[in-house]
Structure 1
């Protein structure tokens, strides 16, 4: 019975993490996240300078990252500035790591 509860908890954690994993599943989006780790906030033009893709393509990837809940956007004047929004995903990852540490000890 406790195995079933543990499995259900793992499934629940993975279901909650799924959008984040999907958002991070592309190398271009991983590069964008890496840039934002280094620079904290950037607009699409600044990001496009570092990514070998067109500005519309970069915007598309930013939209996916926003939908996944990995970045947030703030409008300053006419520009949109992007920054990381990792609080929830970090909390979920910690739950997953804790679950694995507790449940998967041999």
Structure 2
């Protein structure tokens, strides 16, 4: 299942709190297109999940809505935020850390 870091959760809270002045929305991932071997995801802030979306997050906390194909693609990933050299913050989808042998 997609894991959301604390930093990403804070960013989602900030985004959804600003959207239309209402709380309770979430960050939605959906398949946009697939070019060659790399699938493209569309990310949007939305007030509620669409029919069939998988919902991650607790009541009152940040939520992530995953369209079924996006959920399958992100099943073994981590959602984080990264800051570039200009200070812009962007969401990043990273591989989950694999357990080390013998641990």
Give the TM interval when normalised to the shorter protein: under 0.3
TM-score of the superposed pair, with normalisation by structure 2: 0.25
Structure with the largest fraction of helix: 1
TM-score of the superposed pair, with normalisation by structure 1: 0.24
Higher Rg of the two aligned structures: 1
